[in-house]
Amino acid sequence: MKITELRSRRFVFNHEDRPFHPTWRPFPERHQDVTVVEIKTDEGITGIGAGGVLTRLGSVAPLFVGKDPLAIEEHWHTLRSIAHLMGRPWPIEIALWDIAAKKACVPLAKLLGGFTDKLLAYCSTGEIHGLEQRVEDVLRIRSEGFRAVKLRFHNPDWRIDLKTLDAVRKAVGDSMTIMVDANWGWYLPGDRTLGHWDVKTARAVVRELERYDVFWIEEPLYAYDYDGLAELREHTTLRVAGGELNAGLHEFQVYFDKGSLDVYQPDCTFAGGVTVAKKVAGMAQAAGLLFSPHTWTNGLGLAANLQVGAAVPNCPFIEFPYDPPNWVPEYRDFMLAEQLRIDGDGYLHVPDRPGLGVELDEARLAAIERA
Ligand SMILES: [Mg+2]
């Protein structure tokens, strides 16, 4: 099999009527700007991928056309070098895996190991809502089938977030698993920047969170504060989660060497493709630790990370970005012919189709393609 074409197309989906105010951005999102990569082969198999970058990846096509799409480790090294020059090219690598699994006529999760065909989804909220609103939200998502929810702690005073957690825990009792994401792994100027935590603050927060049976505390400190995370981890019974924007095996190796994390969250669209995410899952498995990939890019990114999570034995939850009314599958999955939905028991299923198991909604995309 040979690659005959590699192209990228940019799509902009507007949701001006309902801007989304995530904790990780100091300005609202009013549209989703997504680059979709497609790789065609001489056997008629096409692979697709998308991530969180806008790079015109089609310009690197000559490095791949004419080559065997299944030589993924070789392509990975080319992509690693491209990453130095023009950002994160990992949607190309994801498209290659899509081709490999389509060639094998199995879902990608099966090609990678096939541990399970469904994962328990946690509802990953993205905004800070008022206490009463958040309680109402969580009760509603529980009624939709979710058995786990992640709350954001990002107010300048974390005690405000703690009150919300207290109210949510009282409302749901022990019927739901609760995670907390502080989102202090990285930040932009203009963000609630002065609120970001040092080790002492993080220790004070986790001491409180232990009383609420929180499953993990995510990104309580700057992502490269390896020692601070390790110190925090030593002083709490809570699992410490992170790594969503880290890239390459070497950065993750430092986390392992320092003992910084309990839950590893590489996102294959950021970390170095399916190849790196799967290897990090194996490193975590060897250390007796958990893997639960970050998925918050778009529906195609979620679809790819779902496949990696379902392939391995140490992924207890998959992140399901969902925070109505401002973040809903209609926005997240705008490029997909079929939106990703949980079942009534809170599971997200690996699509029973070869590859990533998702298709582009070409009719919709034709209307929103940009130069
Ligand atoms: Mg996060």
What does the pLDDT look like over 40-92, one tens digit per residue?
A: 999 999 999 998 766 677 789 999 999 999 999 999 999 999 998 888 999 99
- Report the distance separating Cα 19 and Cα 354, nearest Å: 35
Q: pLDDT value at position 191?
A: 62
What would the pLDDT profile of 96-106 be if each residue is shown by its tens digit? 999 999 999 99
- Report the distance separating Cα 276 and Cα 301, nearest Å: 15
- The candidate with the shortest Cα–Cα distance to 37, out of 76, 84, 100, 93, is 93
Q: pLDDT value at position 231?
A: 98
Distance from Cα 272 to the centre of ligand 1, integer Å: 17
Distance from Cα 218 to the centre of ligand 1, integer Å: 6
Asked whether residue 124 is domain-assigned, the answer is yes
119 lies in the same domain as 100: no
Distance from Cα 294 to the centre of ligand 1, integer Å: 7
286 lies in the same domain as 317: yes
Q: pLDDT value at position 54?
A: 64
Distance from Cα 126 to the centre of ligand 1, integer Å: 9
175 lies in the same domain as 148: yes
98 lies in the same domain as 119: no
- The angle subtended at Cα 52 by Cα 46 and Cα 54, nearest 5°, is 80
Coil, strand or helix at 207: helix
343 lies in the same domain as 196: yes
HSE (side-chain half, CA atoms, 13 Å) at 176: 29
Distance from Cα 13 to the centre of ligand 1, integer Å: 23
Contacts of 211 (CB under 8 A, 6+ apart): none
Domain hosting 205: range is 111-349
Residue 351 pLDDT grade (very low, low, confident, very high; cuts 50, 70, 90): very high
Q: pLDDT value at position 84?
A: 87
Residues with CB under 5 A from ligand 1 (ion): 181, 218, 244
Asked whether residue 317 is domain-assigned, the answer is yes
Q: pLDDT value at position 323?
A: 98
53 lies in the same domain as 190: no
Distance from Cα 157 to the centre of ligand 1, integer Å: 19
Q: pLDDT value at position 193?
A: 54
When pLDDT is averaged across residues 230-240 and rounded to a whole number, the result is 98
pLDDT more than 70, % of the chain? 98
Distance from Cα 105 to the centre of ligand 1, integer Å: 33
Query: Is there a contact between 101 and 278 (Cβ–Cβ < 8 Å)?
Result: no
Domain count, the chain: 2
Q: What is the CATH number of the domain that holds 63?
A: 3.30.390.10
- The candidate with the shortest Cα–Cα distance to 321, out of 191, 56, 141, is 141
33 lies in the same domain as 93: yes
DSSP letter string over 4-28? EEEEEEEEEEE-TTS-B--TT-SS-
9 lies in the same domain as 88: yes
Asked whether residue 358 is domain-assigned, the answer is no
- Report the distance separating Cα 39 and Cα 243, nearest Å: 28
316 lies in the same domain as 213: yes
- CB neighbour burial string for 132-164, b if at least 16 within 10 angstroms, e if fewer: eebbebbeebbeeebbbbbbbbbbeebeebbeb
What ranges in 104-174 are assigned the alpha helix state H? Answer: 108-112, 131-143, 158-172
DSSP 210: G
* Whether pLDDT at 6 is above 80: yes
Asked whether residue 92 is domain-assigned, the answer is yes
Distance from Cα 219 to the centre of ligand 1, integer Å: 7
Distance from Cα 213 to the centre of ligand 1, integer Å: 19
Distance from Cα 295 to the centre of ligand 1, integer Å: 9
Asked whether residue 58 is domain-assigned, the answer is yes
What would the pLDDT profile of 299-319 be if each residue is shown by its tens digit? 999 999 999 999 999 999 999
Mean pLDDT of the chain: 95
Distance from Cα 85 to the centre of ligand 1, integer Å: 26
15 lies in the same domain as 145: no
- The angle subtended at Cα 300 by Cα 270 and Cα 277, nearest 5°, is 35
Poorest-confidence range of 116-125, 143-152, 179-188, 209-218?
A: 179-188
Asked whether residue 243 is domain-assigned, the answer is yes
Q: pLDDT value at position 189?
A: 75
Asked whether residue 356 is domain-assigned, the answer is no
Asked whether residue 341 is domain-assigned, the answer is yes
134 lies in the same domain as 10: no
When pLDDT is averaged across residues 167-196 and rounded to a whole number, the result is 87
63 lies in the same domain as 131: no
Poorest-confidence range of 83-87, 190-194, 284-288, 362-366?
A: 190-194
Query: Is there a contact between 193 and 225 (Cβ–Cβ < 8 Å)?
Result: no
Contacts of 281 (CB under 8 A, 6+ apart): 264, 266, 291, 308, 311, 312, 314, 315
What would the pLDDT profile of 182-232 be if each residue is shown by its tens digit? 999 988 876 655 668 999 999 999 999 999 999 999 999 999 999 999 999
Q: What is the CATH number of the domain that holds 195?
A: 3.20.20.120
Distance from Cα 182 to the centre of ligand 1, integer Å: 8
